[in-house]
Structure 1
Amino acid sequence: MTVSGAGGVSRREAEVLAALGARLTNAQIASRLHISIRTVESHVSSLLRKYGVADRRELAALAEEVAASSGEVAGLPTARTTFVGRDAELAAVMAAFESARLVTLVGPGGVGKTRLAVAAAGSFPYGGAFVDLVPVRDPFVAEAVAAALGVSERPQQPLEDAIADRLGRDRALLVLDNCEHLLDAVAAFVDRLLSRCPGTRALVTSRERLGVPGERLVPVEPLPLSSDAVRLFLDRATAADPGFAVDAGEAVEICARLDGLPLAIELAAARSAALGPGGLLAALDDNLRLLAGGRGVDQRHRSLRAVLGWSHDLLEDDERTLFRRLAVFTGGFDLDAVTAVVSGGRAEVADVLGRLAGKSLVARDAGRWRLLETVRAFAAERLDDSGERPALQDRHLRWAATTAEALVRLASSKSPDGGRHDAFDTVADDLRAALVAAQASVSADVPPNLTDGPQTPPPDGRQTRPAPDGPQTLAHRLARALARLTYGRRFLSEALAHYRQAARLATGAAEAAQDLADAAECALAFADAGQAVELQLAAAERAAAAGDGNARAVALARAAVIARRHPGFGAGIGVPQERLDTLAEEAAAAGDPDDPFVAAHVAAAVAWSGTDAATSEQALAAARETGDPVLVSSALDAVVSAAARRGHPREAFRLARERLALLDAMDRDDPRSGIEIVDSLHVATVYAIAAGDLRQALDLAGMAMRDDVTGSHPALARSRLVTPLVLAGDFEEALARAAEMWDGQARMDGPPGRWMTHALCSVALAHGLLGEEEAYRSWRARALTVGQVTASSGHAALVAFVDARVAVHTGRSAGDVAGLVERAAAGFVPGLFDRYATAACAELAVVAELPDAGQRLAAAAEAGRENDWAAACLSRATGRLYGDAAALEAAVDGWERIGARFERACTLLLLPARADEGRAELGAYLTERSQ
């Protein structure tokens, strides 16, 4: 359990968490923070929900973990050798950060920028992440940073936004190492990130400046020859040969020949045991003589190349061969990868790797090896000169496809190994590089834009299919596996791009159809229903070209379901309505009706295309025949919607909970499951509210916040929390979540969705109950605009409920009361809040002493049979009307049972014997609001 699993902890909650870590009681915490004990209890409940832990003991342990890890920079390399010198540069870095938030270490390759950055990062008092960009290519800077931070992409939330949300406003250090090949991409990323995260600092290493406003440069020069350079040489030489001896003059001369470059010094020192001081000087003299000319930075590059060339020339034949072949790897590599790609037996490869590591040409860390960036560039030149690159890239592609598929199998096995995403992150850059290289050399048989329709066959009618184990087949396998892996890693936009790549690389129409269908499900998980429908229709065209009627039927049916079930996801559905109206019928005609999966998909399309409850039940029965939890969940949702339309929220909630029981059976790394996971959690929360079960609603909203598919959407997940928090009386947390929701939505493209209306009305209710009239009217107006609320819309009941409840609390004028009560008498459209509105308006009639209040109260009784909040409200109204203390006590118990503490306090005021208790609890709200 880590702090990263929490969904937005407020400052006050952080203070309570720290106090729990100090093992303070609620009373002690209340005294220390000057808040009520009940407020402490509320914050503790919120923390338990957000972190998903069972009790205070686990929260206390978590607090200690947070305190212990708060200063760590994730991914910071562990130094295997001593750090020599650089005192002035370290001081310059720290001084630069006093007035700047972006510091770039600039210097030539091999000068020691990375070691300096690692040392500087270790001196910072707060956490962050170290990101090695050597193996990263232009489109994947954000993915590399996200992997280091453990961040995932969410629906309608670009990955950069997720990174910004993780870093937030707290102090953090982001180290981006080796940026010279990504200057434009890194500059744009850093500029956007720093503008969003005022507490974040960025430390960059590069051969050139980024050119971002506010950037401070710290030049990294070669080591001083007579001091630090000699110290470094002696340290590394004696590490290679404890008996190594050299006089001061020879040491200075060696370092001078190497221009004080740390990498060159380390490479030369690694040879000290074999050659001795005199041999080193002679070898250096021979190589450097070839590069005579001017001094300066360019000469330093030449001298480093000379040392690399000299080191290379001294290698044995098998060492030279392996050395240049290792350049095919973009990032690090293990023994299995090297054996598969460069060929040779494990024992032989391990022996040669060990020798290269001993000569400082290969770095080893935690069972893996890597070439330093400068060394890899040198090895790549030798590989190109050898003519071996095409064959090596073919073997690299085969290894990448095999490795990616093995990782997919690991994920699909539901192994308890929690490090499977780490395993992908370790090789991700090489898998991506292999696919890019393959695409550059493979001519796919399918057109670039598969959404334009089926491929036209050649004039002679013959299809040329690639070799079954050739580069195109391997590239297609790799693209599909990468799509699945990046979806599982929650890099959603990358996953969608890889599914599209797979469709372009497919060796046949049937494969392309499957790739496009998977791309559609990925787009839907990305909350883009319009793109999902278009991709399913393209999949249907490819299936038709392949002669697969069943696949065509399923794709058409899915397009119909998506269009009807999720029309508000994304920018809308671009397919004409006339076309959508025929999809269910087309699907039924395309496939085999005796195939259970075809039958289930067609039944779902029919059910979602109408409002008949019977068709929903038929779709559910057909789905159960398949045993597929995704199909069963989708059909259950149709039945849930039918129950809600009939005005049965308890039944809808029961069915929604049945959907939740299916989640464990779903493959969370399969895009087909994505929308069902998102929808199941949110629908269950909504119908828990509709049934008045606030405790369940809060638990379910907390589950959605913590879920790795749904949790970090900056607006959607928080919106589901706001309403039950307000109804439960947790106003401060509700308003904090609402602010996060609104700010998060402001960062999205496009206007707020109508799904936000519930939360906006709830915020208005909180402000109204707190007596904040201006804020109440502002948020209410915002809700009316976003929800496009009319008298006949489903949101009309929610607005009436808010107005009536605030009127009861504030004692609004009789004219307003009459209007509200008459709206209730006319009836509300069955939905989520019609029973809340009916009960609240009945209580308003009682409080306003309307002459027919008793009749209106009796007419509202049905609302309490389907909603626990309404039942408690009607019991309180009965107590008010008839002076019935037993009814008021029953209301108090009802509020207690569902966790509505503000309503409980208001009801206590009506009981003379308990009025002081009510006043104390309401006073706690005022105290909390003033903090």
Structure 2
Amino acid sequence: MRSSSPGGTVPASGANTYSTTQRTTQRITPDSGPGHDGAVAVAYPGAVSKRETEVLALVGAQLSNAEIAAHLHLSVRTVENHVSSLLRKCGVADRRELGRLARQDSSEPGRITGLPAPLTTFIGRAAERERLLAALRAARLVTLVGPGGVGKTRLAIETAGGAQGSFPGGGAFVDLVPVGEAYVAQAVAAALGVTERPDQHLHEAIAERLGDGGALLILDNCEHVIDAVARFAEQTLRRCPGTRILATSRERLGVPGERALPLAPFPPASATAAPVPLTSHAELLFLDRATAADPGFTADPATLTLLCARLDGMPLAIELAAARVPALGADGLFAALDDHLRLLAGGRGADERHRSLRAVIGWSHELLDEEERALFRRLAVFAGPFDLDAVVAVTPGLARSAAADVLGRLADKSLLAVHRRSGAARWRLLETVRAYAAERLDQAGETDAARRLHLEWAAGVASALEAHLETADRWRDGFDAVADDLRAALAWAPDVPGHLPYRLAGALGHLTYARRFLGEALGHYLTAARLAPTALEAVADLRAAADCTSAIGDVGRQPLEMLLEAVGRARETGDGDLTAIALASVVSAACRHHVEFEEGVPHAAKAELLAEARAAGDPANPVVAAHLAAAAAWLANEHAADDHPADVHAADDHPETETEAETEAEAAVEAAVEAARTAGDPVLVCAALDIATMAALRRERRRQACHVTSRRLSLLESLPRHVPAACPEIVDTLRMAFYGFLGVGDLPAALAVARQAMDDDLVGGSYLAAAHLITPLVLTGRFDEALSLETEVWEGWRRTGRPFGPQLGPPIGALSLAHGLRGDGDAARLWRSRALNPPHRRRYSYFMTFADARLALHHGRFEQAAELVEAALVGSPTAATAPYREAVAAELAVAAGLPGAAGRLAATGAGENDWAAACLARARGRLRKDENDLSAAVALWERIDARFERACTLLLLPGRADEGASELAELGCVPPKT
């Protein structure tokens, strides 16, 4: 069977496949698109259109095809065509490389994303900035410590902005003011533009993004989340040796290796009545800010000196006071402020400067009119920046125009900072000012009412964002702008069942799943289930939570427990159909993922659950019928496996005799697929087809399984990307398709699926996704591309600190093979030691035994051939790589002249695998010295694009040996000794 290549076009067979395209390098400059403010250097042989330039910019910004389509108002199919064209023109193999090209010149090297652009002049602090730079050169964690209002954030921004070229890995500025204890990693991830992937948690994705390239993270305002920041910093610095962290906080983090730099207020100038030139930074700051507020401002230098001394040199206090200059003048300001400070500040002590700042804020507050005070204290409920709509929502009775006017007045008085995002104005309270506003809100007895309004606003905003997930243009930006406030509103909400908290928790689950904060989404869905006003709503959220676990790599006991809880809540509703679906889902999950359980659910217990489901539900309901049929099919196949385990190989044309249980199982699978089609839900159809895939694999019908998986691949486009229900099928389909095509030796299709998975916004982008590319790349002879991934994969694994999983066994063995075929014995031995080093070594070394045998065959090392042949035959015969091991073992036996080699060759079947079929044909040619067998092998290698193996086979054909030698030289391989 020749399978089509999903997600792309399979290269044509024949010699033309192996030609090298010469490309020229040009430059294109995007006219628009997020993340691009410079030229993009790309290699391509043809012109790139303006529309393709826009698409390229959005690929570089890591948007999916659907999001690009929404942004540019195109169809998804049109975007796919543009991406395919760009792949061809840019001369790259996949979307991942295309994105790298798009980003490589999109900004200056070492750019720190999110670094605020200050709107005012930076005054003084030259010595402090030099000390901070020196500390960053000497230490990997530097904490700038000082009281609120002393200017820590501004100094960190100025220092980082001037030092960007010193950090080739770039970095990010992360404002932690609005961030809760549990969301520090999310804030960093959003700033860096990374998301979670299955089997890769957010901390690991961040570590992979930072790498070892010398990055800088600025974590600003850490004091309220200091424990979480300390844990994050310690983890990150351990995993990313090239990364440095600059933190600002009112106290040090307490992490080993931390260097704390205290930041003091500006030192006061000597107080004198004589006219002197302004020399102190405090005076210069006051003059700059006062002049900005009143361009005609003048003052006696001695008055400014006394005024700044009275303000203790605190930059924020100076700025707040300077904002009052237009109304009071310097002399009036000094008189009013001096009286107020004497009254509120009291005696002088260690905390006097901080108390003085609070006194200045309080004095500024007393100068507000009642309308300004009322709005000022209401703004304390916002954790982060807010817009006019949000302000109106928490201040009932205040007209929109009046709210805008008051916001402007508060900003003029420096009590609000103004930000602009995509042209829209947003405001925020500085943290010290917000803390004061919160106190005033509490003293007014308005905290509970304000938080209730804030919760209503948050639930409404979250629901609106949720409703536009599929269609909104760049919805992600809208979510990121309010995410911290949505989380804060939920944290403040009563932890009891209620409509608003439930609505917000459910919407946050949906939004964070779509935003690919997968672990967070799971938590929100569980919160929603706990807060659900009714059992009916709780069932939906528990099922969503169970589906989320597929996204974080847990398909074992945890989701089963959630589904069992959903069964209990479904029973409470008295809804028979809902109960039947919940029960059937438990049966299907327990069968489908049984290998994940330390102790499986007994077959009899599952049969009882299915019987209860059948009794509860109406089989005339198509959705109920589909779930019941799926559970029945899983159980029937489990029974067939117990009744007739597949412990022997089936000849290609002579299937084993079917038992009655197997016949019933096949009928049950067909019924499940048909019931799912009738229900009309592509998620149910995809899940039902997985039963058929597993049934075929159990009986070693690889081609049949591959055919079914191809049908699942064709459904991927119709699966919703933003809801957890589709997650298990997206993750499983791509995984099963890859191993399915690898299992039948269809290497172009396996490689295409690996590239498709790498580009997928849910499963792609991680070192694990990159690792899946390596095996088909090596088996097809694309050694340069495979070896270009080795550092990324190994360092990604090392940085994340993950245990060695079975998914890394084949790629690591393939890297050893590639190095060995190129004659680099040291590198081959290094990767071999890595493949054989993990826990449960035997399980992970199966593919390595194939590599060992193939290298022995290539280099003519036959002294251990008998041992290598026996080792290659160990392992599950149903594994995707089993045919490779068995076929190369037979050929090694022939080449080494082992006793019984002919009989072993005759007894070895291809296992429905094209690579194995070609290998066995070559082995027969060696044994018989038959050019027809060798020519047949060449044709088979060409069919699956196995360039290296084709060249090795040509060497055995007298008339084509030169062609084979030339091909091997082009691949950088040493010639074989056989």
2:757 aligns with one of 684, 692, 704: 704
Alignment of 1:288-687 (within 5 A): 288-291=341-344, 293-295=346-348, 297-343=350-396, 344-366=398-420, 367-411=425-469, 414-415=470-471, 417=473, 419-439=474-494, 442-444=495-497, 472-528=498-554, 529-569=556-596, 572=598, 575=601, 578-611=604-637, 612-687=665-740
Give 3-state SS (helix, strand or coil) of 1:122's partner. Answer: helix
Q: Counterpart of 2:414 in structure 1: which amino acid? A: S
Give the counterpart letter for 2:620 in structure 1. D
**Mapped partners of 1:928, 1:720: distance in 2:** 26
Deviation at residue 778 of structure 1 after TM alignment: 4.4
Aligned to 1:176, the other structure's residue is in SS state: strand
| Structure 1, 779-788 or 610-619: larger mean CA deviation | 779-788
Q: Which residue of 2 aligns with 1:55?
A: 89
Structure 1 residues 802 and 306 mapped into 2: Cα distance closer, same or farther (>3 Å)? Answer: closer
Q: Report the Cα distance in structure 2 between the residues aligned to 1:642 and 1:175, rounded to whole angstroms.
A: 53
Distance in 2 between the 1:741 and 1:51 partners?
Answer: 28
Amino acid at match of 1:88: A
1:705-738 per-position Cα deviation (integer Å, ceiling 9, x unaligned): 23222125554x3453332123123456546756
For the structure 1 residues 286 and 576, does the alpha-carbon distance in structure 2 shift closer, same or farther, using more than 3 Å as the test? Answer: farther
Q: Deviations over 1:797-830 (max 9, x none)?
A: x677556534532445488459949998x99845
How far, CA to CA, are the matches of 1:787 and 1:599 in structure 2? 43
- Structure-1 separation of matches of 2:323 and 2:876: 83
Q: Secondary structure at the match of 2:492?
A: helix
Give distance in 1, aligned partners of 2:611 and 2:724: 26
Equivalent residue runs for 1:813-892 within 5 Å: 813=862, 816-817=865-866, 820=869, 829-830=877-878, 832-837=880-885, 839-844=887-892, 846-848=894-896, 863=910, 866-885=912-931, 888-889=934-935, 891-892=937-938
Question: Using the alignment, how far apart are the partners of 2:399 and 2:618 within structure 1?
Answer: 52
Q: Which residue, out of 69, 72, 93, partners 2:111?
A: 72
Give the Cα–Cα distance (whole angstroms) in 1 for the partners of residues 219 and 634 of structure 2. Answer: 49
Query: Are residues 311 and 783 of structure 1, via their aligned partners in 2, closer, same or farther at CA, if it must alter by over 3 Å?
Result: closer
1:766-806 deviation digits (Å, cap 9, x = unpaired): 466556485687467559944649xxxxx98x677556534
1:222 counterpart residue number: 265
Residue type at the aligned position of 2:340: N
Q: 1:37 maps to what in 2?
A: none
Aligned to 2:129: 90
SS at match of 1:242: coil
Q: What residue in structure 1 maps to residue 37 of structure 2?
A: none
What TM-score comes out, normalization by structure 2 length? Answer: 0.80
Higher mean Cα deviation, 317-326 or 143-152?
143-152
**1:902 partnered with 2:948:** yes
Give the AA of the match of 2:880. L
What do residues 754-775 of structure 1 show as CA deviations (whole Å, max 9, x unaligned)? 5555445545654665564856
Q: Does the C-alpha gap of structure 1 residues 575 and 404 become closer, same or farther in structure 2, counting only changes over 3 Å? A: farther
**For the Cα contact (< 8 Å) 1:718–1:738, is it kept in 2?**
no
Conserved 8 A contact 1:93-1:218: yes
Question: CA, structure 1 residues 102+304, in 2 after alignment: closer, same or farther (shift >3 Å)?
Answer: same
**Matching residue's letter, 2:854:** R
Q: Which amino acid aligns with 2:140?
A: R
Deviates more, 1:802-811 or 1:532-541: 802-811
1:229-287 Cα shifts (integer Å, max 9, x gaps): 12211211111111112122222222222112111111111111121112211211121
CA-to-aligned-CA distance 1:848-869 (integer Å, 9 cap, x gap): 4579877876776x738x4332
Compared with structure 1, are the counterparts of its residues 238 and 505 closer, same or farther at alpha carbon in structure 2 (3 Å cutoff)?
A: same
Deviation at 1:213, TM superposition (A): 1.7
Task: State the 1:177 CA deviation.
Answer: 0.5
- Residue identity matched to 1:602: L
Q: C-alpha separation between the residues in 1 aligned to 2:285 and 2:456?
A: 42
Contact 1:686 1:720 in 2 (8 A): no
Q: Distance in 2 between matches of 1:615 and 1:661?
A: 23
Q: Which residue of 2 aligns with 1:206?
A: 249
1:156 aligns with 2:183: no
Structure 1 counterpart of 2:248, which letter? Answer: T
Aligned partners of 1:135 and 1:330 also within 8 Å: yes
SS at match of 1:204: strand
Structure 2 letter corresponding to 1:369 = W
Which SS does the other structure have where 2:179 is aligned? coil
Question: How far 1:913 sits from its partner (Å)?
Answer: 4.9
Q: 1:55 Cα deviation (Å)?
A: 3.5
Q: Which runs of 5+ in 1 are unaligned?
A: 1-15, 27-47, 445-471, 790-794
Aligned to 2:152: 113
Matching of residues 134-145 of structure 1 within 5 Å: 134-145=177-188
In 2, Cα distance between the equivalents of 1:164 and 1:78? 27
Taking the aligned partners of 1:79 and 1:108, their CA distance within structure 2 comes to 21
Superposed CA offset, 1:897-917 (max 9, x none): 433232133223224454345
Distance 1:690-1:443 versus aligned 2 partners, 3 A rule:
closer
Structure 2 distance, partners of 1:560, 1:741, is 37
Residue among 858, 861, 875 paired with 1:809: 858
- Is the contact between residue 807 and residue 817 of structure 1 (CA under 8 Å) also seen in structure 2? no
Q: Which amino acid aligns with 2:914?
A: D
CA distance in 2, matches of 1:476, 1:416: 24
Q: Distance in 2 between matches of 1:523 and 1:834?
A: 30
Most deviating of 646-655 and 200-209: 646-655
- How many angstroms apart in 1 are the aligned matches of 2:235 and 2:453? 39
Q: Provide the alpha-carbon RMSD of the alignment.
A: 3.5
Alignment of 1:242-253 (within 5 A): 242-253=295-306
Q: Distance in 1 between matches of 2:192 and 2:307?
A: 42
Whether 2:780 is the aligned partner of 1:728: answer yes
Tell me how far 1:431 sits from its aligned partner.
0.9
Cα distance, 1:422 vs. partner? Answer: 2.3
Question: Aligned AA for 1:363?
Answer: A
| Alignment partners' CA distance in 2, 1:106 and 1:149 | 25
- Cα offset, 1:74, TM superposition: 1.1
- Give how far 1:513 is off: 1.9
Q: Tell me the distance in 1 between the aligned counterparts of 2:202 and 2:785.
A: 26
Normalised by the length of structure 1, the TM-score is 0.84
Deviates more, 1:578-587 or 1:163-172: 578-587
Count of aligned pairs? 850
Contact 1:324 1:379 in 2 (8 A): yes
Distance 1:608 1:18, change over 3 A: farther
Label 1:764 to 1:613 Cα distance change in 2 as closer, same or farther (>3 A): farther
Shift of 1:483: 1.2
> What CA distance in whole angstroms lies between the structure 2 residues aligned with 1:728 and 1:237?
71
Percent identical pairs in the alignment equals 53
Contact 2:185 2:202 in 1 (8 A): yes
Secondary structure class of the residue paired with 1:79: coil
Name the residue aligned to 2:75: none
